[in-house]
Amino acid sequence: MKVSLTVNGSKHKVDVPSNTLLVDILRDHLGLTGTHVGCDTSQCGACTVHLNGSSVKSCTILAGQAEGVHVTTIEGIGSVTDLHPMQAAFRDRHALQCGFCTPGMIMSAIDLVNTSKGLDNRAVREGLEGNICRCTGYHNIVAAVLQAAEVMQGSSDE
55 binds another protein (CB under 8 A): yes
The least distance separating another protein from the CB of residue 9, rounded to whole angstroms, comes to 21
Residue 60 and residue 68 in contact, taking contact as beta carbons nearer than 8 Å: no
13 binds another protein (CB under 8 A): no
Length of the chain counted residue by residue:
158
Which whole-number Å values give the CA distances from 22 to 27, 115, 155, in the listed order? 9, 24, 36
Of 87-126, binders to another protein (CB under 8 A) are 108, 111-112
CA distance 155 to 4: 40
Q: How many residues bind another protein, per CB under 8 A?
A: 32
Element holding 45 (H helix, E strand):
none
153 binds another protein (CB under 8 A): no
**Would you put residue 64 in left (φ > 0), alpha (ψ -120 to 50) or beta?**
alpha
Q: Which stretch binds another protein (CB under 8 A): 60-68, 74-82, 84-92, 135-143?
A: 60-68
The least distance separating another protein from the CB of residue 145, rounded to whole angstroms, comes to 13
Q: Which is nearer to another protein, 4 or 91 (CB)?
A: 4
3-class DSSP string for 92-120 = HCCCCCCCCCHHHHHHHHHHHHHHCCCCC
15 binds another protein (CB under 8 A): no
103: nearest Cα among 69, 62, 73, 144: 73
Q: Which stretch binds another protein (CB under 8 A): 5-13, 45-53, 72-80, 139-147?
A: 45-53
Q: Which positions touch another protein (CB under 8 A)?
A: 1, 17-19, 21, 40-43, 45, 48, 51, 54-57, 59-65, 67, 108, 111-112, 127-131
